[in-house]
Each structure stands twice: as structure tokens, then as C-alpha cells.
Structure 1
Amino acid sequence: MFFVLSKMVWFVLSPVNLAILLALLAALLAFTRWARAARWLGVASLGFLALMAFSPLPRLVMWPLENRFPQQPAEKGPVTGIIILGGAIGVARGDVVLTSAAARMTKAVELARLHPQAKIVFTGGAANLISPVTKTESDGASVLFEGLGLPRERILLEDKSRNTRENALFTKQLVDPKPGERWLLVTSAWHMPRSMGVFRKAGFAVEAFPVDYLTEEKASEFVRVSGRAPRGLMIADDGFKEWVGLLAYRLAGYTDALFPGP
């Protein structure tokens, strides 16, 4: 129920979707007795969309998330296993498709080669709400990892999870971690606080290995007008979604803190 509800609510509350829906509403009201209000609503929705597309606001929203857990050196110490969260890969026409979060996958391969004894665990099923599932993210991960030379016997695939909470629960069941083992958790830096909170709540001790940064290290370095509207809108959508997700997961009791930290 939580999964379905979260998908439906976010469809409306996504900043980009919300701005477009409000603009469509304004267009409809323009032909009614509320035409004056429609003009103001249209201007407001367009202004909001422009703010997210071109202003520093999306990166300012994203920056605290990406700085919550420090970046780690790839070669540090022995590692039992490397856990990669889904959200970066898919399969289309029988071939692998990488999303803008592809650094999760490329960094996983780099870590796998630096730690040849470590298990490689990919967790991600299919988060489709309506369309039928034919291939999961795990199917894509298997093709990619083996194609890049990782031995199949090192790879463990968890293909049932649909969200971060299920990532943690199902992965723990799959690998059955033991005390003293060292597990790295690889996901986008902006997604790391919620991910760590969920794994801790599930009783799975993991070490944060954030990747896929979308902001600069210092906030002052990106306080400027953006020249790429699609990029700004994407960052806005991911950033606002993550803050909403942190609140929703905390209220649902899925994380150990509102804003998990080191």
C-alpha cells in the first residue's frame, strides 16, 4: 500500500509535474468565469517552472543531502561485499540502458576490481505501477557486470524490491550479514541519508559510499544562473523528492532518524 500511495502522491507533488498540472488547470479555467484567476495561476506556474529550471534553487535543495555523508577513498581496507542500489539501470530492446545515475554502476565495477574477494550485490526489481514487468533492473545489472568482466559467481542479484525500504530488507535476507563484516553501500550521494537510515532500521550495518554527485563541494560554487533547463528540472525533481521521502519514511517508521547522518 505504501508503495502504491507513494507513487500516486509523488506524481502530483513532483515540482515539475505540479507546475505543468497547474498550467493545464490555468488553461482550462481561462475559458470560464475564473479567467482572471487563471491568468495569475498560469503566470505563477510558469514562474515556478522557470525558477526550478534556471535558478540555483534546485542545487541549494540538493546540496545538504549530498554533503551529509563524506566521500570515501575507493581503496580503503578489506571489504566483505559491495551493495549497489537500483535506480541507475534498465533493459530496452535486449540491451542495457543506463540512467543519469550511471555512476552507481561504474563505481561498483571499479570497487569490485579493487576488492576482488568482495561479493557484488545488486538490489533492484521493477518499480512499475501500471505497465507489466518483463525485465528487472537486476537483469540489466547482470548483463552489465558480466559484460565488463566480473565473474558470475561473485554477483548476487535481489530482483523483488521496489523501493529503498525493500532494498534493505530483501538484501539483508539475501546475504545474511555477520558481525564484523564490512559492507559498502553504493548509491547516489543525494539518496544516501535515507538509504543509510533504512538499512540501520533494518539492522544491517553498512558503510556509506556516496557517488553520482550533482552539486559542487561548496554551495558558493554553484550559486549562479543555470543555462540548461532540463538539468535544473531533473535536479529539482530528485532533490525535492528526496526531502519528501525522508519525511514520509520517518513518519512511516522506516528510518532511524528524520535526517540520518554519519
Structure 2
Amino acid sequence: MFFVLSKLVWLVFSPVNFAILAALLAALLAFTRFARPARWIGLIATVALVLLAFSPLPRAVIRPLEDRFPQQEAGKGPVAGIIVLGGAIGMARGDVVFNSSAARMTRAVELARLHPQAKLVFTGGSANLVSEVETTEAEAARKLFEGIGLDPARLVLEDKSRNTRENAVFTRRLVDPKPGERWLLVTSAWHMPRSMGVFRQAGFAVEAFPVDYWSKGTPEDFIRPYSRVHRAIETADNGFKEWVGLLAYRLAGYTDALLPGP
């Protein structure tokens, strides 16, 4: 139920979607006796869209999440296992495809080569709410990892999880970590606080290895406008979604803190 509700609620209440729906409502009301409030709704929706599409606001929202866990040296060891969260890979027409968070996969390959004795764990099934998919993210990851020459014996694939909490719970059951082992958790930096929170709550002690940064980490983040609207909107969507997700996961008892930290 939590999975379904989270998908449906965010479909409507993500900032970009909500602003577009508000603008549509204003357009419809403009031809009724509610024309005056429609103008205010339309104005507010337009201002919101402009801020989300062009201003530094998306970076200001996402940067505190990306700053929460420090970067690590890739070669620091020893490492028992490398856990990669889904959300960056899929299949289309029988071929592997990536989205804008592809750094999760490329950095995972780098880590796997730097630590040849470590297990490489990928966790991700299908988060599709409407219909079943023929190929899970885990199957796409297998094709990628084996295709670039990684030893199949090193791979551990978890293909049932649909969200971050299930990533943590199902992965812990699958790998059964031993005391004293060092496991790296690889995911987007903006997604790391919630990820670390659920892994801790699941009883799996992992170390954060954040990748896929969407802010530069300089004062420029708060003053430079966006030149590409699609990038700004995606950054805003990811950032706001994570803050809402942190609150929802904390209220549901899935994380150990509202904003997990080192």
C-alpha cells in the first residue's frame, strides 16, 4: 500500500506536475464565474514554473542532501561488497539503456575493478505501477556487468525490490553481512541520506559512497540560473521528492532519523 500511495501522491503533488495542473485549472476557470481567482491561480502557477525552470532554486533544494555524506577515496579498502541501488538502468529493444543517474553504474564498475575480491550487489526490480515489465533493472545490470567482462561469480542480483526500503531489507536478507565486513553503498548523492537511513534501520551497516552530483558544491549553486529547462526541472523533482520521501519514511518508521547523517 505504501508503494502504491507514494507513486500516486507524487504523480499529482510533485512541484512541477502540481504547477502545471494548477495552470490547467486556471485556464478552465477563466471561462466561468471564477475568472478572477483563476487569474491569481494562473499567476502563481506561472511564477512557480519560472522559478523551477530557470532560477537556482532546484540546486538550493538538492545541495543540502548532496552535502550530507562526504565523498570517499575509491581505492580505500578492504571492501567485502559493493551495493548499487537501482534507478539508473533499464532495457529497451533488448539493449541496456541509462538515465541521467548513470554515474551509479559507471562508478560501481570502477569500484569493482579497484576491489577485485569484493562482491558486486545490484538491487532493483521494477517500480512500474501501471504494468509489469519483461526485464527488471537487475537483469539489465547483469547484462551490463557481464558484457564489460566482470566475473559473473562476483555478482549478486536482487530483483524483487520496488523502492529504497525494499532495497535495504531484501539486500540484507540476500547477502547476510557478517560483523566486521565493510560494505559500500553506491547511489546518487541526493538520495544517500534516505538510503543510509533505511539500511541502518534494516540492521545493515554500510558506508556511504555518494556519486551522481547535481550541484557543484560552490557558492555558484545559489546564484547561477539554469540554461537548460529540462535539467532544472529534473533537479527540482529529485530534490523535492527526496525531502518529502525523508519525511514520509521517518513517519512510517523506515528510517532512524528525519535527515540521516554520517
| TM-score, L = length of structure 1 | 0.98
Cα contact 2:60–2:221 (8 A) shared by 1:
no
* Structure 2 partner of 1:29: 29
For 1:135, what is the secondary structure of its paired residue? coil
SS of 2:166 mapped into structure 1: helix
User: Paired residue for 2:144?
Assistant: 144
Counterpart AA for 2:103: A
**1:18-65 superposed Cα distances (whole Å, 9 cap, x missing partner):** 111111111111111111211221121111011011001100000100
Between 19-28 and 241-250, the greater mean CA deviation after superposition: 19-28
| Maintained 8 Å contact 2:53/2:229 | yes
Q: Does 1:160 align with 2:160?
A: yes
Q: Is the 8 A contact 2:81 2:182 kept in 1?
A: yes
Report if aligned partners of 1:216, 1:222 keep a CA contact under 8 Å in 2: no
Aligned-partner SS, 1:53: helix
Percent identity of paired positions between Structure 1 and Structure 2:
73
Question: Which residue number in structure 1 is paired with residue 202 of structure 2?
Answer: 202
User: Counterpart of 2:80 in structure 1: which amino acid?
Assistant: T
Paired position in structure 1 for 2:235: 235
SS in 1 for 2:91: strand
**Equivalent position amino acid for 1:248 in 2:** A
| 1:110 aligned residue | 110
Counterpart in the other structure of 1:175: 175
2:41 aligns to what? Answer: 41
Superposition RMSD in Å: 0.9
Which residue identity lines up with residue 53 of structure 2 in the other structure? A
The separation in 1 between residues aligned to 2:156 and 2:110, in whole angstroms, is: 17
How far apart are the structure 2 equivalents of 1:182 and 1:106?
21
Structure 2: how far apart are the matches of 1:220 and 1:244? 25
TM-score by length of 2: 0.98
Distance 2:176 2:210 in 1: 23
1-side partners of 2:132 and 2:30: how far apart? 38
Asked if 1:119 is matched to 2:111, the reply is: no
Contact 1:63 1:219 in 2 (8 A): no
What is the Cα deviation at residue 255 of structure 1?
0.2
Deviation at 1:221, TM superposition (A): 4.5
2:62 match? 62
Cα distance in 2, alignment partners of residues 141 and 219 from structure 1: 36
Q: In 1, are the aligned partners of 2:23 and 2:46 still within 8 Å (CA)? A: yes
Give, in whole Å, the separation in 2 of the partners of 1:23 and 1:222.
Answer: 27
Aligned to 2:90: 90
Maintained 8 Å contact 1:124/1:158: yes
Moved over 3 A (4+): 219-222
Q: Give the C-alpha shift of residue 124 in structure 1.
A: 0.2
Local SS of the residue matching 1:225: coil
Structure 1 gap ranges (5+): none
> Aligned pair count?
262
Match of 1:141, SS state, is helix
